[in-house]
Structure 1
Amino acid sequence: MELRHLRYFVVLADELHFGRAARRLSISQPPLSVAIRQLEESVGARLFDRNSKEVRLTPAGQALQASARRLLRQAEEAALEAHDVSQGSAGRLRIGFVGATLYRGLPQALAKFQARHPAVRVTLAELNSGEQITELLHDRLDFGFVHTSRMPAELRHELLLSEPFVACLPVGHRLARRRTVAIASLRDEPFVLFSRSASPDYHERILAICADAGFRPEVRHEVRHWLSVVSLVSQGMGVALVPSALRRAALRGALFRPLDEDVAGSDAYCVWREGPENAVVQGFLRAVRAGVPAADQA
């Protein structure tokens, strides 16, 4: 059974006249007759009673008519959906993100993308960088925001932004009134640190910044999310070095001060799978590029 046969059948069922049906289909009458005969052979039943005066649907034809219309409609919808997906105007987009991305333009990029592509179903998953890479490799994510440039060959990545680290201090801290903070002045402070397992790059970057200032920090607490870092600092449980975007978190009890020296910045990357171009992913990437805020300046 072919869709062409069903289309011919539906038109003939409407017209109940081979000549008129053939004209609607823009074919001659013999190919229409052949197609109807092939369809009847395929279903194993006579679909039309015809003689020199009239054409009528048989009970089998009447039973097939509604199903044939439904199948043709589903085929048209499937073709339209495939076309829309190829153009990036429909489909799904599974996005992974690290928490700091919420303050780096992700909500704005999503709003812009959804306004242009309302039929695309977007789902978000907060995961650390390593988890996102694993999910991307197993095709359980389409796009990610990570803190590392160390990627498997199967993934493509692009630097989203680079921003300075700032000192995160509890309100009332002895350094709170300073306009800038020297890293060495944090030597004897308990640190709240992003855990190595959650993000080796960030963990090592902060240890290296402290080492360049001449000390190894006393790491009192390790957590898996940047908002947890800021939250613990706000509770007076230590100090931290965090990406400047976290200033937008506006958690009470925590304040942020620029560092008084240049250090390696905090890099954020977007990442997606290598392979045939996905129009939905490319459309979102364009929205991300257009929506990245300017990095905070120390």
Structure 2
Amino acid sequence: MEFYHLRTFVAVAEEEHLTRAAERLGASLPAVSAHVRGLEEELGVPLFLRTPKGMRLTGEGRALLAEARLALSSLEAVRTRAGALRQDVTGVARIGLNNEAARMRVPELLAALTRRHPGVEIHLVNSSSPRILDNVRLGRLDLGFVYDNILEPGHEIEAMALEDVDMAVVGPTSWADRVCRADWEELARLPWVWFSERCPFQYLLESSFSCRDLALNKVMVGDNDATLRTLVAAGIGLTLLRKDDALEAEAAGEVCLWRREGLRLGLSLVHRRERADDRVIAAIVSAVTEVWGLPARRR
């Protein structure tokens, strides 16, 4: 039994699909299928049921999954320890971005890493906070920038607070007089362009209105900031944007801003807590600490 057998087994179990597991592992579909068959033959038990919708764990597979994860964790610990014994830091890190690279200070981060650790290769993935958090948990991403109101208490994810991001309620320019004069109750009655599931903007607005016993009038859902901005400019309703995006849209004559009260979201860098001592992770966290002007972290 080889390391890649267990790695493939866990990936297929979590993805429940051979093609998605192959994409996650960066391997070919025939190779992943062969790894699964080889492991089943070596163990002498069926691990998966092949169905039209994908791969489902058998009873034997479910019983062995926890052991496989534990074995992989132990192997990862050995690799991490071996890396700590080396003087150089080399490796690949996949980092999820929930906004433009410049706003995440990525150019400065890459410059700092190039000075300190030229052997670290960075892959950037643009996504949303919920997807980034899920992919960090699943090991598809090594680190990610997320808005921290979607984080849940627990020991699985470690988060480093970076800054508070100002947010702004925006509306169509033709509604400027109504929006500028509106209080919370009047805002709630106006039409709203809403957000995709688990969006941090959604959580922020819901908490802001529900604490005032107000329910929002949601008329449409958009799945990204550009779509939300376009729908507001078209006169569909209000929405919430980062304030820097909102000011840019206002300057372009696309929206008006509600300025009576401020709203904020915390921005954090996250990674799996069990990987805190991984030298590549530690190198990136150290560089982010420098770039964002944060206090040095102690371990």
Please state which band the TM-score falls in when normalised by the shorter chain: 0.5 to 0.7
Tell whether the 8 Å contact from 1:192 to 1:222 is kept in structure 2 after alignment. yes
Could you list the per-position Cα deviations for residues 156-215 of structure 1 after superposition, in whole angstroms to 9, with x for gaps in the alignment? 11222223331222334333895x8643442332111222x242x432321222334553
Is the aligned partner of 1:125 residue 2:125?
yes
In structure 1, how many angstroms separate the alpha carbons of the residues matched to 2:293 and 2:229? Answer: 21
For 1:220, the equivalent position in structure 2 comes to 219
1:260 aligns to what? 260
Partner of 1:238: 237
In 1, Cα distance between equivalents of 2:85 and 2:108? 19
Taking structure 1 as reference, are residues 293 and 286 closer, same or farther at Cα in structure 2, changes over 3 Å only? closer
- Pairwise CA distance, 1:124: 1.7
User: For structure 1, which runs of at least 5 residues remain unmatched after alignment?
Assistant: 1-81
**Displacement of 1:271 after TM fit?**
0.5
Residue in structure 1 matched with residue 162 of structure 2 by the alignment: 160
Give the alignment of 1:155-194 within 5 angstroms. Answer: 155-175=157-177, 178=180, 182-194=183-195
Name the structure 2 match of 1:272.
271
Normalised by the length of structure 1, the TM-score is 0.57
Matching residue of 1:202: 201
CA contact (8 A) 1:103 1:245 kept: no
Q: Which runs of 5+ in 2 are unaligned?
A: 1-81, 295-299
| Residue 59 of structure 2: aligned partner | none
- Post-superposition shift, 1:114? 4.7
Output one character per residue of 1:85-133: Cα deviation in whole Å (capped at 9) or x when no partner: 955643211011223x646434344443454244422112223333223
Distance verdict in 2 for CA 1:262–1:134, change over 3 Å = closer
In structure 2, C-alpha distance between the alignment counterparts of 1:253 and 1:293, rounded to whole Å: 35
Give the match for residue 136 of structure 1. 136
Q: Paired residue for 1:54?
A: none
- How far apart are 1:137 and its partner, in Å? 2.4
Q: Taking structure 1 as reference, are residues 229 and 155 closer, same or farther at Cα in structure 2, changes over 3 Å only?
A: same
Q: Distance in 1 between matches of 2:88 and 2:159?
A: 20
Counterpart residue identity of residue 283, structure 2:
G
Rate the CA distance shift 1:183–1:165 in 2: closer, same or farther, 3 A. Answer: farther
Higher Cα radius of gyration = 1
The 8 Å contact of residues 97 and 127 in structure 2, kept in 1 or not, is answered as yes
CA contact (8 A) 1:105 1:291 kept: no
Judged with a 3 Å threshold, the aligned counterparts in structure 2 of structure 1 residues 288 and 215 are, in CA distance, closer, same or farther, namely same
Task: Give the % identical residues.
Answer: 20
C-alpha separation in 1, matches of 2:87 and 2:249: 39
2:146 aligned partner:
146
Equivalents in 1 of 2:85, 2:191: separation in Å?
51
Question: How far apart in 2 are the matches of 1:146 and 1:215?
Answer: 27
Measure, in 1, the Cα distance between the counterparts of 2:279 and 2:242. Answer: 32
- The 1:85/1:91 distance shift into structure 2, 3 A limit, reads farther
Out of 101-110 and 152-161, give the one that drifted further: 101-110
- 2:179–2:257 contact (8 Å) kept in structure 1: no
Q: Amino acid of the residue matched to residue 188 of structure 1?
A: R
Contact 1:97 1:124 in 2 (8 A): yes
Change (3 A) 1:108 1:236: farther
For residues 283 and 256 of structure 1, what CA distance do their matches in structure 2 show? 42
Paired position in structure 1 for 2:93: 93
Measured in 2, the distance between the counterparts of 1:286 and 1:208 equals 34
Secondary structure in 2 aligned to 1:267?
A: strand
Aligned amino acid, residue 270 of structure 1 = L
Aligned to 1:281, the other structure's residue is in SS state: helix
Distance in 2 (alpha carbons) for counterparts of 1:209 and 1:220: 19
* Contact 1:96–1:125 (Cα < 8 Å) also in 2: yes
